[in-house]
Structure 1
Amino acid sequence: MPLEAGLLQILACPACHAPLREEPAPEAEETSELVCTGQGCGLAYPVRDGIPVLLVDEARRPA
């Protein structure tokens, strides 16, 4: 289930405060993830059951 556009406009990366964009998740258990658009950050936050998990400890580091 995609997130609402209005929600994406107000969400920001907890680590660097850059905007986030929604992408399909590489793991099977999550349907999508929110990826930081900030240069040098790039953390990917999971979306579980339609709820973004914006915790730095839960984020996937860029490869």
Structure 2
Amino acid sequence: MARETPLPKIEDAALAQLLDGALAAHAVTARPEWRAEALSYLRSIADAATLVRSLDLGDAEDPAPVFHP
């Protein structure tokens, strides 16, 4: 049976750094009014990723089929 492992919540400051880094890396100039919405999308993605990572599938479960040519 799968166990849940508590993981720390990703801090808002870390998400802001991620957004700023991604904008700089892609040379995108974003309007300041878009920032709050972009950060809310990043928060949703981070929370979903934390939920998925918290599930311990164990060794018996394979998350995806393995391709063998």
TM-score interval, normalised by the smaller of the two chains:
under 0.3
Q: Who wins on radius of gyration, i.e. which is larger?
A: 2
Provide the TM-score with structure 2 as the length reference.
Answer: 0.25
More helix by share: 2
More strand by share: 1
Higher relative contact order (CA 8 A, sep 6+): 2
Provide the TM-score with structure 1 as the length reference.
Answer: 0.26
